[in-house]
Amino acid sequence: MKTRDLILKFLKRNIDNWVSGEYISKELNVSRAAISKHISSLKKMGYIIESLPRKGYSLKESDLLLPDEIYDGLQTKTLGKKVVFFDETDSTNIKARDLAEEGAEEGTIVIAESQTMGRGRKGRSWYTGKGSGIFLSLILRPPLAPTEVAITTLMTAIAMVEAVKSVTKVEPKIKWPNDLLLGGKKICGILTEVSTEMDSVNYIIVGIGININTEAVSFPKEIKNIATSLHIETGEKFKRKLITQSFLKSFEKLYNILKNRNFNHIMKEWKKHSDMIGKRVEIEIFERKIKGVVEDIEDDGVLRVCSDDGSIERIISGDIHFV
């Protein structure tokens, strides 16, 4: 372990308490000047460390999504074992795609505290409240056919519902295909992008953004009536690190089921977390609008809608509004 990491470990063991520089120096056998240098670099990384002349150093509780924070306590075999972190980037999906093109391993994740070009579907933008949510992208290389990719979005939604439920006890509902809602408002969105050959998938980038500790006033006015956060809905603040780790754990479990092609299991889980079946909806698919009632979700993730003119529509992707 590097000296900086040892110092951090030491401070973490004494979180919120004072540890003298002399004590650290003796225990780790490093000079006081070296400690001071490492403390500065930890502060630059975002750790909040107070220092006082006769008391030493005191690390305050923080909620950083730095790679070492994610690795610490992560219960997965491969997913998230390599984290690429940006304090600010254009879009984690763009960065993940670049890494995938360069051959990054499956399970690599890209996390950012803020994005200057956070993206939704069809070129829409995604508001990234700096430090207040989780904004990450996963690189996957599944043995799926291009026609089977849609289910990864649904699976990602289940994994995030499970993670939120296990950490916060509230349970968002899934709105097909890529939203999680709390109190009817959007808390999370998923953007799945794929690189394919004729009959195989090179890689999938699954991007997910979730508003955790976002304050109502910080949402831009265009979305303040439709967006919400875990904090707004519960009045509490949550550790983003715990939700990230829990999400990766659930994701890995479901992804193994997906790789075994047990789509039926995934869809059963999905239906447990969605209350869309039987609802009246309006769906926009490019220029077309369909009104009708959701009949079912098929095993490949396709939405089956009985439209008002009596025809059955099988919808692969679109924007849904409840009516």
Our finding on whether 290 is near ligand BT5 (CB under 6 A) is: no
Of the candidate residues 34, 81, 114, 120, the single one contacting ligand BT5 (CB under 6 A): 120
Between residues 39 and 139, which has the closer beta carbon with respect to ligand BT5? 139
Q: CA–CA separation, 245 vs 227, rounded Å?
A: 24
Our finding on whether 91 is near ligand BT5 (CB under 6 A) is: yes
Scanning residues 221 to 280, which ones bind ligand BT5 (CB under 6 A)?
Answer: 223, 226-227
Q: Are strands 173-175 and 56-59 parallel, antiparallel or unpaired?
A: unpaired
Query: Angle formed by the axes of helices 3-13 and 32-45, to 10°?
Result: 80
Between residues 192 and 245, which has the closer beta carbon with respect to ligand BT5? 192
Nearest residue to ligand BT5 by CB is: 189
Between residues 162 and 179, which has the closer beta carbon with respect to ligand BT5? 179
Between residues 56 and 172, which has the closer beta carbon with respect to ligand BT5? 172
Between residues 127 and 263, which has the closer beta carbon with respect to ligand BT5? 127
Q: How far is the CB of 164 from ligand BT5 (least distance, A)?
A: 14
Short-list 160, 192, 180, 178, CA closest to 93: 192
**Cβ neighbourhood burial of 123 (10 Å; 0-12, 13-18, 19+):** exposed
Q: CA–CA separation, 99 vs 109, rounded Å?
A: 10
Which tokens is 76 given?
């997965």
Our finding on whether 124 is near ligand BT5 (CB under 6 A) is: yes
Between residues 2 and 122, which has the closer beta carbon with respect to ligand BT5? 122
Strand partners, 111: 85, 136
Our finding on whether 115 is near ligand BT5 (CB under 6 A) is: yes
**DSSP per-residue codes, 164-213:** HHHHHS--PEEETTTEEEETTEEEEEEEEEEEE-SSSEEEEEEEEEEESS
- How far lies 248's CA from each of 57, 164, 208, 289, in Å? 33, 12, 12, 36
Residues 144-183, mask of contacts with ligand BT5 (x by CB under 6 A): ----------------------------------x-----
Between residues 142 and 177, which has the closer beta carbon with respect to ligand BT5? 177
**CA-derived radius of gyration, the chain:** 22
Our finding on whether 93 is near ligand BT5 (CB under 6 A) is: yes
Which tokens is 323 given?
């009516």
Of the candidate residues 108, 132, 137, 244, the single one contacting ligand BT5 (CB under 6 A): 137
Our finding on whether 192 is near ligand BT5 (CB under 6 A) is: no
Tell how far CA 175 is from the center of its chain. Answer: 16
Short-list 128, 118, 136, 83, CA closest to 247: 136
Of the candidate residues 47, 57, 85, 135, the single one contacting ligand BT5 (CB under 6 A): 135
Our finding on whether 26 is near ligand BT5 (CB under 6 A) is: no
**Three-class secondary structure of residue 308 per DSSP:** coil
Contact indicator for 229, 211 with CB cutoff of 8 Å: yes
Between residues 8 and 191, which has the closer beta carbon with respect to ligand BT5? 191
Short-list 169, 289, 282, CA closest to 236: 169
Of the candidate residues 97, 175, 186, 231, the single one contacting ligand BT5 (CB under 6 A): 186
Q: Which stretches of the chain bind ligand BT5, using CB under 6 A?
A: 91-93, 115, 118-121, 124, 126-127, 135-137, 178, 186, 189-191, 207-209, 211, 223, 226-227
